[in-house]
Amino acid sequence: MSYRLTCAVEARHVLSSVVREFCKISLEFIRKGTNPKVYQSAAQKLSIDTETVRHGVEGLMYLMTESSKLMLNEIDFQDSIMTLALPESMRQLLLQFYLQYRHDIRSIMSEMTMDIPHYHNLEWRFDVKLASRSNRRQTTPTVLLKLETEDCGELSRTVLQTDPVNLLHLTKVLDAALQEMKSPYCRRIVRNIK
């Protein structure tokens, strides 16, 4: 009976050290990107194939990045990993790792985001051409827009010209998009993206 207990304790210790090592590897890969040589060396140490190591590390990377992105608290994180059917000691180990490195992971992810141009200012002017030499009863309204966008602190100006009908259509399409963003489905997607 004591031999079985000793084997179980040793197996649990080996499993804990493997999970710790996988957590370290996944954090390093989040910081610097993947390195196939690390997968191979870890697979040789554990006497398992490289694909199993790769899937394990990528799964941990996904768990940590998604949890950090959503800033899960301790209870929510434990609820998330409850379905993995891990022993309590492994869940506690993952929780400690998450709580220790979630702010680091979040800052790494914020550095990796793309900074796309965003709205800074808009000026507009309404012009109407009432007549020309060849056509005296012509009215041609146009709207001139000067759109300023900012990208990494640098301003960019774009001049646009349209007629009122197209501007009205553009306004309706943008308004429909804004209304769609208020739907529960889109809110759920946006909440998961942040």
Cα–Cα distance for residue pair 170/117, rounded to 1 Å = 20
pLDDT at residue 151 greater than cutoff 50? yes
Q: What is the pLDDT of residues 43-102, one digit of tens each?
A: 888 778 888 888 888 888 888 888 888 888 888 888 888 887 778 888 888 888 888 888
CA angle 190, 54, 108 (to 5 degrees): 45
pLDDT at 52: 82
Cα–Cα distance for residue pair 50/59, rounded to 1 Å = 14
Q: How confident is the model at residue 2 (pLDDT cuts 50, 70, 90)?
A: very low
Q: How confident is the model at residue 113 (pLDDT cuts 50, 70, 90)?
A: low
Residues 6 or more apart in contact with residue 23 via CB below 8 angstroms: 60, 64, 93, 94, 97
Tokens of 156: 């960019």
Q: What is the pLDDT of residues 118-145, one digit of tens each?
A: 888 999 998 888 777 777 777 788 999 9
3-state SS of 98-158 is: HHHHHHHHHHHHHHHCCCCCEEEEEEEEEEEECCCCCCCCCCEEEEEEEEEEEECCEEEEE
Sheet of strand 118-129, all strands in order from the earlier edge strand to the far edge: 118-129, 140-151, 154-162
Strands 140-151 and 118-129 come out as antiparallel
- Please say whether the beta carbons of 16 and 5 come within 8 A: no
Residue 91, number of CB atoms within 10 A of its CB = 17
